[in-house]
Amino acid sequence: MGSLALIDKDFDKAQDYENKAKEIDPSNDDVIKLQSNIDWQKMRAEEEKVYAILQAGREKVMAQECEDALPFYEEYLAKPKPNVLYRKRIRRCFICAKDYQKALQTYNDVLSKGPNFETQLARAKLYYAMGDSVNSLHEFKDLAKQDSSSFDAHLYLGDSYTRMVTPTAHAMFLI
């Protein structure tokens, strides 16, 4: 009966049946298996709910309704342990909605867990897009050292140096 309740995703009813069966024979393999199935199905149902939140946000982004997508992504971020792949999608949404500070915060959150070249490169590009020449220059220098073959790191490093040059100093280079 507990297994049938699981098919209907009635976790409370399934747990009640498991508890009654456990009172009768706690070491029975079927009772142990039922508890395992209940736990697994609950976890899966929760993951499906979280994914539905993310999917709703993604659909808004695809429709270029980035501002409307933000609440879905923020709700997702509030969930425990959102994975790095989904955080990447969330950062793109923040950038699309021009909420650069939240995008920067998600980059910093990922990088606080350890080095990640792609995330650091994306953060450096965000600094560049925000007009933060000092931080973008610092990041691109570090990235160029980490991977001397990275075209983007070297391209943006050069662009960051160019942004650092004042118009008068730039005119002096041309003379």
Could you tell me if 127 and 135 are in contact, meaning their C-beta atoms sit under 8 angstroms apart?
A: yes
Secondary-structure breakdown of the chain: helix, strand, coil percentages, each rounded to the nearest 5: 80, 0, 20
pLDDT digits (tens, 9 = 90+) for 102-129: 888 888 888 888 898 988 999 999 998 8
pLDDT digits (tens, 9 = 90+) for 121-154: 999 999 988 888 899 999 999 999 999 999 999 9
Give the per-residue SS3 of 62-131: HCCCHHHHHHHHHHHHHCCCCCHHHHHHHHHHHHHCCCHHHHHHHHHHHHHCCCCHHHHHHHHHHHHHHC
Q: Among positive and negative, which fits the CA dihedral 72, 77, 82, 87? A: positive
Q: For the chain, what are the domain ranges?
A: 115-175
Task: Check: pTM over 0.85? Answer yes or no.
Answer: no
